[in-house]
Amino acid sequence: MCTSAPFTAARACGVYSGAFEASILSLKTTPHICPRLREIVYRTFSDHLGVLEGDLVVPVPLHRLREMQRGFNQAAIIAGLLSRKFGARVDDRSLKRIKATERHRAGMDANDRTHSVERAFEVARPAMIGGASVLLVDDVYTTGSTIRAASQALLDAGAERVTVLTIARVGDR
């Protein structure tokens, strides 16, 4: 399913169900990743280092209003884990969500999700992104609409390549 995607590769720590689903739902309300899940994130990154390692780790941004409402960005929590454990350089200021998108709900199909994130992202600091290999991180890969839109914005700003790491993926994606 990723052959037409703008990113080079995507890896997830597991499938969005059971403990992974519970952990992600918790992460949307509490800025904490439990030690067991933290170790799974570390292992997944390590196991796929050759594919995922890049110059910058960029968390998928929330719109500023949603981040103010939530108080944190869960993708930035994941990026921080990679930074602390592996010394990865996090850039959480270059990629911006400029469109307040509708919350993606389970009932939304791929077309609805794609439409909701069209032109939702822009790169505010193209000099930081130009020529860089970027690892884009997020909590869950559902249809890939958000990841695709964010990846395309990074590539349009001159990123050399974009790879993706999420805690979970929905279904067999």
What are 132-150's pLDDT values in tens digits? 999 999 999 988 899 999 9
What confidence tier does 107 reach under pLDDT thresholds 50, 70, 90?
low
Q: Residue 112 above 90 pLDDT?
A: no
pTM: 0.91
Q: Residue 108 above 90 pLDDT?
A: no
What confidence tier does 102 reach under pLDDT thresholds 50, 70, 90?
low
* Beta carbons of 52 and 88 less than 8 angstroms apart: no
What confidence score (pLDDT) does residue 117 get?
72
Question: DSSP characters for 82-107?
Answer: HHHHH---B--SSEEE-S-PPPP-TT
Q: Residue 109 above 70 pLDDT?
A: no
| Domain regions of the chain by residue span | 13-169
Q: How many CA atoms lie within 13 A of 26 on its CB side?
A: 11
Q: Residue 45 above 80 pLDDT?
A: yes
**Topology at the third CATH level for domain 13-169:** Rossmann fold (3.40.50)
What confidence tier does 118 reach under pLDDT thresholds 50, 70, 90?
confident
What confidence score (pLDDT) does residue 140 get?
95
